[in-house]
Each structure stands twice: as C-alpha cells, then as structure tokens.
A and B are shown apart, each in its own frame.
Chain A
Amino acid sequence: MNNTITLKPKQEIKLAYIDNIPYEIKDGETILSFVKRYKGKKAVPTLCDAPNLDPFGSCRVCSVDVALAKDGPVKTQASCHTPVMPGSFIYPDSDRVQKLRKNIVELVLTDHPLDCLTCEVNNNCELQEVAARVGVRDVRYPAGKNHLDRKKDLSHPYMTSDFSKCINCFRCVRACDEVQGQFVLSMAGRGFDSHIVKGQETTFNLSDCVSCGACAQACPTSAISDVFESKSIVADKKVRTICTYCGVGCNLEVAVKGGIIKSIQAPYDAEVNTGHTCLKGRFAFSFYNHPERIKTPLIKRNGVFEEASWDEAYDFIAKELTRIKTDHGSDFIAGISSARCTNEENYLMQKFIRAVIGTNNIDSCARVCHSPTAHGMQETFGTGAATNSIVDLKVTDCIMVIGANATDAHPVTGAKLKQFALSGKPSIVIDPRKIELANYATYHLQLRPGTNVALLNMMFYFIIEAGLEDKNFIAARTEGYEAFRKNILKLDMNEMERITGVDRELVKKAAIAYASAPKAMSFHGLGVTEHSQGSFTVMQIADLALITGNIGRHGVGVNPLRGQNNVQGAADMGCQPHQGAGYYSVSDSLNHEVYENFYQAKLPMHKGYKIPEMFNASLDNKLKAMWVIGEDIAQTDPNTHKVVAALNNLELFVVQELFMTETAKLATVILPGASFFEKSGTFTNGERRIQAVHQVVEPLKGTKVDGQIIVDIMNKMGYAQPDYHPDNVLKEISQIVQFFEGVKWDELGINGKQWPVNKGGKGTQVLHTKGFMSGKGKFIYKDFAESQELIDHGKEYPYIITTNRELEHYNCGAMTRRTKNVLINTEDVLLICAEDAAKHLINDGDMVCVESPRGKVDVRAKITDEVKPGILSSTFHFPEVMLNNITSDVHDSEAMCPEYKVVACTIRKSKGKYKEKV
C-alpha cells in the first residue's frame, strides 16, 4: 500500500490510518496526539496523561489496537507513549480495547471508595468520567486488600490530600518534578502497597512543599486538592485574567459564585504559564474582600481620618491642587503611578499629571526596581525592554542568571529556569546568596554584594583572552569595541578577584561556557539594578550579549525579570519624568508638539522629579502635593525616616489604596481604589506581552476602579476625559504609542500580543533581529567603583546587609499578609552564616539588632549557609520590622534606583523589649 502522497517534487506527507481512513502524521508524534488531533480531545480516554507532563504509560487506559498493515496482526499499545508508525492502522475503539479499558477501570474501582456523591470532585472527576465512558456497571471481584482507610492530610493552609482516593497515576509526582522541580512527592513501597508520600511520609505542612498547587491541579481525583476545592468548584462563572503578583504575567482562571471569588486555577492553554502558577497567584486572593479594605474616601482633619463622600473628597482635592498650582506652580505637585495598575490607568495618571496639572513630575515604582535596566538597555540597544521571550528557554543552550532569585520572586519563570538547570546544560548563577537555583546550576559565582561590574569585567577579560568574541557580529552590528577591548585587557585579574571574592578560574569557566554556547540567554533582576552601578551593570550584561553575538535570535538575548506585574507597562505609558507615553523625550521640541496636540494641553518641556528627588524637593519645601497610587513608599522605599519626614512635610498627600498601609497612614486624603480582580484593562509582562485583564467581580461597595478615579478628577479639574473603559483608553494609547499601534482590546486573544505590535496587529517575539533602534549596539566600558555607602561607613559598620524577597510574600505584603500566606511565612528574618552568628553569640531564632547609619531594626536570626561571612540578608515584607529604616539613599548614578542591595551595618543580640519578641 502506498502510504505517502506526493504533492510537489520532494515533498512527502506521511500517513497513518484511523479506522482505515488515512490521515497525515506529524514527525515523532504519539498515537494519542495523532488520534486526538483528528478525532477530538476526548477521542481516547486517559487517566495518567496530562497536558503539561511527559508521557508516562501507567494507567494503560489509552491503549489502542495497532496493525502495521491492513488486516495484519493487531497489537494493543498504549497510545500516550507509542509513536505513530507511518502506514500503521490504528483502531482506537476496537472491541478488544474497549473491553480492556473497562477491565482496567474495574480493577481501579476495587481499591477506590465508591462515595462519589459526597466526594469533593463529584461531577468533576476524571476517574468518574472515564468509568462512565467505558461503561463499568459492576465490580466483580470479591472484597480484598484496599487502601480505603488512609487518613486525610489537612495540615496545610492550602494543600489537602486524601489518598484513599488515589489511583496511583503519578501525575502529582510528575508535576512536582517536571513542572515545579521541587521533588516533594514520590511513590513509596512497591506493587499494590505503592503509595504517594510527601517527604518521608510527612504532611504537606511539614514537607518541603512550596504550595504551587501543581500536584492538586494535576490530580485526576480528589486525592490531592486544595482548601478552595478549586478543581471541582461549581461556579457561576470562570473569568480569565492576569496575575498581579509579579512580572511573569501568569494567566489565571478565577471561579466566581454569588459574586464572590472562590478559587483560582491556571489554564493549560496559557503561553506564559501552561497550567502552572505559584501559591501567590493560585491561593493568595482572599485579600481582595478582606475586612480591612478601605471602603470609603477618608480625609484627614486635625490628624484624624474622617469618612467622606466621593464628591466631598474630589472637591477637597481639586481645591487643594488648584490652590497649590496657583500659589506655587505646577512643579510643586508630583504623582507616583502604580505598576500594579493597568496600562490604561498608568496612561491616564501621567496624562493627568502632565496635561491637567502641567508638570513632568510623574514617576513609578520602576524607579526603585528596573529604571537602570530601561536606561542601560536604551544606551546599548536603544530599547529598554526584554529582547526575547521566556519560551526561548526551550531552545537555548546556556543561561546566565545574575542578581535574580527567580524561584522566590518570579516563581513560574523560576521553575522554568530550574528545569533548565536540571537538564544539565550549562547554567551560571551570579549572586551573593546561595539561592535555590545556585544549588542546581553548573557555576555559582558568589560575589560580594556591589561588585557586579568587576565580575562582569572579568568575564569579558576571559572571553577576549580565549578569543571567543563573535567577530562577525561585532563588526557588523556594534560600535565602540576596540576601545572597550583595550580597557578590558588593561584590567588586573588579581585585583578583580580580590574585589569580587570569586575565584578567577571559576569566573573563567563560566565566561567560556557563556561565550561558547551556540545560544546563551541572560536573565537579571534587582540584584543588578539596585546598586550604585546598576545602570552600568545592565550595560555590561547587554555588551556581554553583543560580544558573543547573543542578540536578535531565538534562545538568546537580555531578559530582565520585571518585578511588578505591569512595571514594563508603567514605563511604556510614560510614567517617567523624562519620557512621555511611548518613550519620547519630553524635552524634544518635536515630541513636545506632538504631545501638546494630542492632549490638547500646554505641557512643560523640562524633565520632572524622579521619586528620590521628590522626597528631597519636599524636604526643601519645593514640593507641596503628591498623589500616589497603590505604592507603599513609606514601607518599601529606602531610608524610611527620610521618606516619612518628606511625606509629612507635604500640604496635600493623596493616596489611592486598598488598605491602610504605612503610606496611607500619612495621607491627607485616601481614595479607596480597586484590586485587579475588580477591573479590566491590560498588563504588559516582562517579555513585552500585553495581556487582557478582565474584571472578575464588581469593585467592593464604596470603592472605585483607579482609572475611573483619575478620570473623575480630570473632569473635576476641567479636562474632558471619557469614563474609564479599557477599549477607549487603549484606542487613545495606540494613537500615541507607536509600538502599540496595532493593539486592539477585542483582538488581544487569550495570550495577548508582544510589542511592538504593527498596524496589522502582529506582535514581536524577538527584538533587534536586524538592527537596533539606535543603529548599532554600543560597547560602553565602565570601571568598578566601590559603593559610596561602604566608602563612607564600611569601617564603622563592617557587615553588608542585602535585601531580598521571599516566595510567600509580595513586596510590602499589603496583600499577601492578608491571606493565609502569612501562616506559611510568618515574619521577616535575618539570614546569617554560622560563623558570624557564633562571633556574636547569636543562636538560630534569636532576635538580632541590625544597625546602620540611618537607624536600627530588630529581626529574628536564621542561621544558614545561603550567605557568606560578613554578608547578611533580609526582607521588608512586614511593617513590624520596617527594614527600610536602615537602608540608605545611595542610588544608581544614572537612573537613581536606590541601592537596596548594599547596606553597611553592625549586628548584636537584641536587648530589652525586642529581645522578648516572639
């Protein structure tokens, strides 16, 4: 029989037969995927198969009959792991396989509690569905050994298990391994006695579980589930939206019943997260209707907040803003937009500040995180955004992760990076801490905090020394290389080794691994940017890609891991004092004219204040009013005492917030905003992907969508702006932001589009494929410079504390502390190595007083090998500690991003009341 069709010369199509009808096969596909493609997703019943897991072959329910020739001998094969043979004849529903499936499921039911009606997953159970489908009517076996008496595990705030319902499909074990890479679950025992264990037969709560919920989502029954019963919930509706807990941009499917959010699942068809998400995205949603939500505008009178109506509040604000503008001028007013808010809201906020107030004093939290990335990448590549997509991890040959603890801060991308490291391909981690990824990486360069520039210069040196530069790429697409090269070769590696504290041979090996990989990707986070040399480090990371030709293709590039869900968008929308929407300089007269015409307003041409400059201006009485949306600057900006003094010095301080944060407490007027569950719009993730955020529930009574609040005040102050709707704002944005040109609300689809989006609506996965925005890529050499913090205080304060994030909490914790996450991670702790702890007679769990030139905090010690001697680390998720009391206002020389990562301090055991703290 001829099993190929000849279309054009040399083009052949391979065929196989389903029930004797020929269909085209794809190379290397399994029988299951082949049959499903032509006969529908449910064409073959399965139990152990799952969309995001490798074929496993345990349940055998997917078996089909296969003959290698028509009417040839038939063999039963498990379709999930058997490749389709060209020319084979597949019978997915022969009598024999139907009987086989029924008999297998009957066996399963001999060891399953047949309590479907009271089971959590009744009507939503894959076993039930398969049993119904194969038509089991009777369990013919006499009662025998079984596992029906297994105890439930209800120990964990979120995860639950009831292994009497387990069918041993291994999906949970595989999810924990192949998706999260956590290895918490395994089978134990053997044969009939084999059973799922967490750790060594412990509970979820006592295990090393990171509560990602991948196992629960993978489980076909209720053997593993969560307290929200998310996979079985009978909801009024399920709404797809985007998570707000980091810049990864996971898609969430939110179940709503009676107007209340009940649970969240991760959709399998999401390109960003493919059925996965972390405990923040999946479980930490209950903050949204927490009793502490602010539900009415509040005006502070005589130091006390009084409830006010919206009109009252708007009148009060409009009057005050007008007064300050008239008395002092527009530049005495400033706004900080929120990277937690939508693109549309950010656009409106900067428009309000610029077109209505008349100042460029607009900034966003990008200032305190990735402003050096935007600056550094603009200087070298011309565009301040990730060059590639996370999906490129599937095709790259090497990764370099610098200053990013992704498994905690970007858990879904972190899990993918971990999977890459587990694959054994070269992976380089550059971090002062032995972060989780470092354990799995090929190279961990554990440098002293603040020496990124020195370390990367070492890498350049060794790459050049080994002759591994991509000479063709350098010649064709870059400039400034010769001078750069000369400067690098002048460096003394002994000196650099001493500065960084990293063995030069190790650096050399890592450099060679990066440079000799056919495709290498870099990822960086705040460990790069939050330094006095933050922008310079970003330029070096970009130049490392240039010198090795790792730009403009799939599987390469420079990929900042953006912190907040829409921090990319906040900058794109112009929430920066020097660039308007779409990154056009406000000081350029041509741009200025375009903006003035577009906004139909008079705009200033001089740059506005960056966030740290706003605080200085307030202290100098040059700023009288500030408007902050959803940003707890009092808890999270460095040098708390200074920030609080600056905010207290304002005449008007408007805060849009969900909760009474440390910042809100200082406000003159608090406007109750809405959470992301309560609004629609778009977020742009760290890979430039504009995704649709859909309103899941109505804003809590008394609160308003933040975009509408801004529209209201714009109108109140005499600027006609239509009511907030993502459709119309997005339309406006697409007319001024060039790379949004083809973005339309209705056309975003389930996976969004990556900018630039052309007029035809086509997005872009890889930037700089042909050229750079600025023409050529620039080599910019920078010498290492010690942080001023250490020069000024290093002697007196010999320890360095570097700040970080923990998986369970998000930033100031305003949201996560109002969920059960707080039961899993209960407080900020101080990471300290055993050697330093011993020196100060500190035991694990003792309270430690950490003092810097700015102030002191008391925090509980956790002795660990994560940090080297002389280095400490902690978080600022909890206002009880207020770690930013000690951080400094030293900042990046270019973008003014604060240096959270290098703080000089001393330590001692806590005294007095702090000692007793439990």
Chain B
Amino acid sequence: MSKNLSELSGRKGLRENLFEELGIASSQSGTPSAEKINTLSEEYLMGKANIYGTATFYDFTRPENKGKKVYVCNGSSCLTAGTQRKLKEKLSKHFKEEEIGEMCCLGRCHENSSFNVGGKNYSGNAIDEIENIKNQESEIKDHYNVTVKGTPVLTNKITSVDEYYQTLKLALGKTADELLNELKVSGLRGRGGAGFPISFKLESAKNSAGNQKYIVCNADEGDPGAYSDRYLLEQQPHSVLLGMMIAGYVMGANMGVVYIRGEYPEAIDITQNAINELLSKKLLGKNILGTNFEFDFKVIRAQGAYICGEETALLSSIEGQRPEVRVRPPYPTQQGLFNKPTVVNNVETLACIPYIINNGGAKFALIGKGKSTGTKLVSLDGFFNKPGIYEVDMGTPLSVVVNELGGGFKSKVKAMHIGGPLGGLVPIDKINDLTIDFESFNQNGFLLGHASVVCIPQDYPIIKYIEHLFQFTAHESCGKCFPCRLGSTRGYELVNKAMNSDYKIDRELFTDLITTMEIGSLCALGGGLPLPIRNALQYFNEELKGYFK
C-alpha cells in the first residue's frame, strides 16, 4: 500500500481508471506493451516500476498471459471431478499448447469441465461444440437449480424494476440514522466469510470526515466452489445495486463500485446492463426520485487474483496498485479507496439490504439462529444429484442441505470442503453435527465462509488435495508477508516431495510451518490455509500417516 500512489491514482480516479486502462491494454495481446506502461506511468505519475509491478501481478495482465486464447478452469471442484485433463486434451486439438491457460475458478462448479474462450464461459458438454463456439456460432447458457427453503430474502424473482425501486423511495424518505438503525436491528453480518456486522462499517464510514466516500461491492467471488454471488449478479443484479445505493445513502457515498472478477464475464455484462437500465430510468445521477440524493456506479473488471477478495487488496486493485494486503489501521472506513472513507461489502450482504428496508430489521432478525440472522445462499457442486444454489434460513441443518436439497451425492464422497479453500474440510460423518450458521461451524472447528460445498470423492487422495491447497495458496499469495509467501511454496514442495518420492515429512516441521502461517500471516489467505490442513490431519490421519515420519 502506498498513500502516495492511492492519491496519484485518485487524481484520475474512476473516471480514467488506471486499473481499467491496464485491463484494456491487456485485452488483445494478453499483457500491456512496455510502451503502454511507459505512457501510463507518465500520465499517472506513478512510476514505471509500479505500473509494471501491477501488470505482472494479475493472471490476465502478466507477461505470461501473452497470447493466451482459451482458459481451463482449475478450481477445486473441477479438480476433484477430474475433468480438467480430458478438457485440455480436447482443447489442444483446436489450440496451440501456448494458447491454453488456466483460470481459477469459473464458477461452473455445478457441472464442471468449464473453460473460457472469447470472453465467455462454458461448462458441461459445451466442449463438444468447441468448433461452433470458436466461430461464435453457439450460445450455450448454463442451468442450475435455484431453490429456497424458508424465507426468500434473496431469491425472489424481480419482475419489475420500477416496482422494485419503490424500496429506494421508501429509504430516501427516511434519515440515514433511521436506516442505519434498521440495519443494526437486522443483525446482518458480512456474507463474504468474516461475518462482520455491516452496520459497524457503515457507521464508521458515516462518521469519517470527507465529502467523497465510496461504497464498494466485493464481487470477486474467488472461492473455488462458490457461485452464489455469480447467481445474484447474473439473475438478481438489482438486489445488489439497490443494496449499494441504500448503503451509499446511509454512509454518505455518492459512488458505488462493483468490482467483479474477470472470470465472470457474463456477470460483468449483466450488471452493466442493469446499471444502464437505471440510468435510462433516471434512477442514477443527481436528484434521484426528486430528492437531494445523487449516486452513480462504476463496474470494474478484475484481472485474475484471488487475493483481491481481501478488501484492502481489492481497494489497491481498483487504484491500479499491486493488490497487496494493507495493514490496519487505517481501516478502509477511515482511509479506503483513493484514501477516502470506503465501505467494502460482499454481494450477498448488500443484496440483503432491500429486504431489510422493506420489511424492517426486526423481521430479518427473526429469520435464522442466534447471531446468524437472515438466510444464506449455499452453492452445491456437481457431485450432488441436484447441484445448484439454495437459499436456506441460517441454522438449517447441513444434512437437510445435503440430502434433501442437494438430493445426496452421485457417487461416494468422503469429505466436503465447505466455505472455500480456507474453509474447513468436513468429513462425511460430521454432516449431522452442523447447521448452516457461523457459530455452528466455528464451534465444530470449521468455517461457514461463503457456504460453498466442494466434494472430495472417496477415491481422491487427501494428500493430493492438501497439495492442491498449498499450490493454490502459493499461486494466489500476494507475496507481501513472509509466512504466506514462503510458507505456501515450502508447504507445497514438502507435500509434493512426499507424494513423489520416499521423502517423509517431519511432523514437527510441518506443524511449525502451518502454525507459522496461521498465527504469523498478515491476512486470511496464509492465516486460513492451516484450517483445512489441520482438519485433514485430524480426520484422515490413517490415509496421511505414510507421508510423515
């Protein structure tokens, strides 16, 4: 993080956004040219090294991305489903080796075999139509189940935009304090993983000095296995946008930034179209609905970096800085985007706001269990008989989700990785102990996270999964803090060596390594990886013990 770079980038801000410029400069060739980097460094006064440093960070702008035409999903779900190898084989008949890259993950976990070509995502059997897809003759949409069990907070279909934005009228008729109070009463906590009450952030930003403030939607749903945010952006974009506008009104922000991962091209287009619709209906700009409220949106297309799901990295990303995790304080609510007070919230969290404003915080608080109020979207992967997105009341038993909603597994599964790569590894016999809420998972030594479920089939070696987790973290580590940068790579090497040779891992060394990452890392990436690994060591010791001495 650099205050100076934030300020310099802020001079052109979102209008001529540096990060967007870098993305555009990379869109054709895969990486910006050296000349372009020089030009940008002169325009933004941020130095060649910094612009270059940013470009070399992201999967889709770094020099290695040059010439890539098609990307295979290497997310956890596609991995455990074992579909990647075949997919690559098929693709290599149509593309040169150096034209095939990887993306993690495309959020097609419900049917796997996913790939990205020509700026669009495909999955399932689409690979068999690759020739037509290449020639842009085929439009294949994905389909998955969307079902609610309990109160439909997020999944009620929005039929009329005009009608839906009556809620905005309702909100603008109240004071920011009144709305803030409703949010407090609702007990709404962040759905991105940390479970932090949204009202705290909004209040803190509201109380920070400054005319310019930002509300940022974190739509960098990077957890392999999760696609609930993609669902909301593609099928319910107005719930997110309206949630942001109300949050903006509460905190005093007139600008909303939707930061959407580049792996979700359709979500970017759909969200932008929804914003255009609001513009045409004059629901954006100045004097919205005849009030003094003004608001605008900016959609930022991310360029492939899991770490950008971390809120401070995300802010640096929008600024065109390297998305390295920042220290706190200062908190984003005091000094966030372009050094201005900023609230960053997850898609699903923001999408809950319209319901709360319409029905009152108290009604929302009635849904759920204890401190986990409201509902939760759960993403089930292709191992389930009925993969898809399920909205359940917080506190719903996991067994109901797995057996009733998901319809059980297609084949034998020994564990579920719930809550993303940093979530817990839940052995199948723990299903009956858990309910879908923050506290239940914590108390049992797991993490609800974003409530994505990736299944690990019976025949999939746990050691291989641990290797994948280290490899994922090593690939996605921003490289700032020592424990994560070095530890994730060394962890991968240890496991890899043990898998491929007689080498036995020293248990004390391994424990030291994961403890160092756990308590020493700057953010939840390095700090969170040890959880599933500890779970694996605990529940699959028999399977793993041969690799250790």
- A-to-B contact residues, CB < 8 Å: 47, 54-61, 63, 76, 78, 81, 83, 96, 99-100, 103-104, 107-108, 110-111, 140-142, 144-145, 167-168, 170, 174, 177-178, 181-194, 197-201, 207-208, 419, 422-424, 439-440
Complex CA distance for A746 and B520, rounded to whole angstroms? 48
The interface residues of chain B lying within 8 Å CB-to-CB of A170 are 480
Nearest CB in chain A to that of B34: its residue: A200
Complex CA distance for A167 and B481, rounded to whole angstroms? 11
Instruction: Choose from B479, B487, B522 the contact partner of A193 (Cβ within 8 Å).
Output: B479
The interface residues of chain B lying within 8 Å CB-to-CB of A144 are 489-490, 493
Looking at chain A's contact residues, the main secondary structure is loop
Within residues 1 to 17 of chain B, which ones have a CB less than 8 A from any CB in chain A? 2-5, 7-8, 10-11
The interface residues of chain B lying within 8 Å CB-to-CB of A59 are 481-482
Contact B52 A422 (CB under 8 A): no
Contact B52 A192 (CB under 8 A): no
Contact A424 B339 (CB under 8 A): yes
Contact A60 B521 (CB under 8 A): yes
A191 with B488, Cβ < 8 A, contacts A58-B522, A100-B520, A440-B45 known = yes
A444 to chain B, nearest CB (A): 13
Q: B497 at the A/B interface (Cβ < 8 Å)?
A: yes
Complex CA distance for A208 and B45, rounded to whole angstroms? 12
Q: B322 at the A/B interface (Cβ < 8 Å)?
A: yes
The interface centre, meaning the residue of B474, B476, B481 with most chain A CB atoms within 10 A of its CB, is B481
Contact B479 A194 (CB under 8 A): yes
Can you offer 6 A-B residue contacts whose CB atoms are under 8 A? A83-B329, A100-B519, A108-B486, A140-B506, A142-B494, A198-B49
Within residues 363 to 379 of chain B, which ones have a CB less than 8 A from any CB in chain A? none
Contact B7 A168 (CB under 8 A): no
Q: B274 at the A/B interface (Cβ < 8 Å)?
A: no
Nearest CB in chain A to that of B526: its residue: A60
Complex CA distance for A96 and B516, rounded to whole angstroms? 10
Complex CA distance for A178 and B3, rounded to whole angstroms? 9
The interface residues of chain A lying within 8 Å CB-to-CB of B48 are 183, 199-200, 207-208
Q: B509 at the A/B interface (Cβ < 8 Å)?
A: yes
Nearest CB in chain B to that of A140: its residue: B509
Within residues 318 to 332 of chain B, which ones have a CB less than 8 A from any CB in chain A? 322, 324, 327-329
A422 with B493, Cβ < 8 A, contacts A76-B520, A170-B480 known = no
A181 with B513, Cβ < 8 A, contacts A145-B489, A191-B474 known = no
Complex CA distance for A63 and B521, rounded to whole angstroms? 10
A107 with B483, Cβ < 8 A, contacts A100-B519, A191-B474, A419-B4 known = yes
Q: B202 at the A/B interface (Cβ < 8 Å)?
A: no
Contact B516 A104 (CB under 8 A): yes
Q: B512 at the A/B interface (Cβ < 8 Å)?
A: yes
Q: B539 at the A/B interface (Cβ < 8 Å)?
A: no
The interface residues of chain A lying within 8 Å CB-to-CB of B4 are 177-178, 181, 183, 419, 422-423
Complex CA distance for A190 and B488, rounded to whole angstroms? 13
The interface residues of chain A lying within 8 Å CB-to-CB of B480 are 57-58, 170
Instruction: Choose from A107, A184, A187 the contact partner of B516 (Cβ within 8 Å).
Output: A107
B481 to chain A, nearest CB (A): 5
Complex CA distance for A174 and B486, rounded to whole angstroms? 21
The interface residues of chain A lying within 8 Å CB-to-CB of B324 are 187
A422 with B8, Cβ < 8 A, contacts A187-B479, A191-B479 known = yes
Q: B73 at the A/B interface (Cβ < 8 Å)?
A: no
Instruction: Choose from B49, B52, B481 the contact partner of A58 (Cβ within 8 Å).
Output: B481
Contact B490 A107 (CB under 8 A): yes
B28 to chain A, nearest CB (A): 19
The interface residues of chain A lying within 8 Å CB-to-CB of B62 are 189
Instruction: Choose from B56, B327, B519 the contact partner of A76 (Cβ within 8 Å).
Output: B519
Contact B10 A104 (CB under 8 A): no
Within residues 490 to 523 of chain B, which ones have a CB less than 8 A from any CB in chain A? 490, 493-494, 497, 503, 506, 509, 512-513, 515-516, 519-522
The interface residues of chain B lying within 8 Å CB-to-CB of A184 are 47, 49
Mark B451-465 against chain A: 1 for CB-CB distance below 8 A, else 0: 000000000000000
Complex CA distance for A631 and B520, rounded to whole angstroms? 59
A882 to chain B, nearest CB (A): 34
Q: Other than A188-B56, A190-B322, A197-B49, give 18 A-B pairs with Cβ distance below 8 A.
A: A60-B483, A60-B521, A83-B329, A104-B516, A104-B520, A107-B482, A108-B486, A110-B490, A142-B493, A178-B2, A178-B4, A182-B47, A186-B53, A191-B474, A192-B477, A197-B53, A200-B52, A423-B4
Nearest CB in chain A to that of B323: its residue: A190
Mark B24-49 against chain A: 1 for CB-CB distance below 8 A, else 0: 00000000001001100000011111
Complex CA distance for A193 and B34, rounded to whole angstroms? 20
Q: B180 at the A/B interface (Cβ < 8 Å)?
A: no
Interface size on B, residues (CB 8 A): 59
Complex CA distance for A422 and B506, rounded to whole angstroms? 51
The interface residues of chain A lying within 8 Å CB-to-CB of B521 are 60
Complex CA distance for A227 and B29, rounded to whole angstroms? 40
Contact B486 A439 (CB under 8 A): no
Q: B19 at the A/B interface (Cβ < 8 Å)?
A: no
Within residues 48 to 106 of chain B, which ones have a CB less than 8 A from any CB in chain A? 48-50, 52-53, 56-57, 62
Complex CA distance for A83 and B334, rounded to whole angstroms? 15
Contact B481 A200 (CB under 8 A): no
Nearest CB in chain B to that of A192: its residue: B489
Contact B50 A183 (CB under 8 A): yes
Contact B493 A191 (CB under 8 A): no
Complex CA distance for A178 and B7, rounded to whole angstroms? 13
B513 to chain A, nearest CB (A): 7
Enumerate the 4 nearest inter-chain pairs by beta-carbon distance, A residue then B residue, closest first.
A183-B47, A194-B479, A186-B53, A186-B49
Contact B506 A186 (CB under 8 A): no
Q: B422 at the A/B interface (Cβ < 8 Å)?
A: no
B320 to chain A, nearest CB (A): 12
Complex CA distance for A168 and B497, rounded to whole angstroms? 26
Q: B475 at the A/B interface (Cβ < 8 Å)?
A: yes
B506 to chain A, nearest CB (A): 6
A190 with B57, Cβ < 8 A, contacts A104-B520, A107-B487, A177-B4 known = yes
Instruction: Choose from A61, A183, A191, A440 the contact partner of B485 (Cβ within 8 Å).
Output: A191
Q: B478 at the A/B interface (Cβ < 8 Å)?
A: yes
The interface residues of chain B lying within 8 Å CB-to-CB of A192 are 474, 477, 479, 485-486, 488-489
Q: B405 at the A/B interface (Cβ < 8 Å)?
A: no
The interface residues of chain B lying within 8 Å CB-to-CB of A423 are 3-4, 7
Contact B49 A188 (CB under 8 A): yes
Contact A100 B516 (CB under 8 A): yes
Contact B522 A186 (CB under 8 A): no
Complex CA distance for A899 and B327, rounded to whole angstroms? 52
Complex CA distance for A440 and B521, rounded to whole angstroms? 36
A501 to chain B, nearest CB (A): 25
Q: B305 at the A/B interface (Cβ < 8 Å)?
A: yes
The interface residues of chain A lying within 8 Å CB-to-CB of B520 are 60, 63, 76, 100, 103-104
Complex CA distance for A59 and B522, rounded to whole angstroms? 9
Contact A78 B52 (CB under 8 A): no
The interface residues of chain B lying within 8 Å CB-to-CB of A81 are 327-329
Complex CA distance for A332 and B519, rounded to whole angstroms? 81
Contact B522 A78 (CB under 8 A): yes
Instruction: Choose from A76, A107, A422 the contact partner of B486 (Cβ within 8 Å).
Output: A107
A711 to chain B, nearest CB (A): 51
Complex CA distance for A170 and B481, rounded to whole angstroms? 10
Contact B481 A57 (CB under 8 A): yes
The interface residues of chain B lying within 8 Å CB-to-CB of A198 are 49
The interface residues of chain A lying within 8 Å CB-to-CB of B305 are 190
A208 with B47, Cβ < 8 A, contacts A191-B475, A424-B339 known = yes
Contact A422 B7 (CB under 8 A): yes
The interface residues of chain B lying within 8 Å CB-to-CB of A83 are 329
Nearest CB in chain A to that of B49: its residue: A186
Complex CA distance for A76 and B57, rounded to whole angstroms? 29
Nearest CB in chain B to that of A189: its residue: B56
The interface residues of chain B lying within 8 Å CB-to-CB of A100 are 515-516, 519-520
B329 to chain A, nearest CB (A): 7
Nearest CB in chain B to that of A144: its residue: B493
Nearest CB in chain B to that of A202: its residue: B48
Complex CA distance for A19 and B330, rounded to whole angstroms? 27
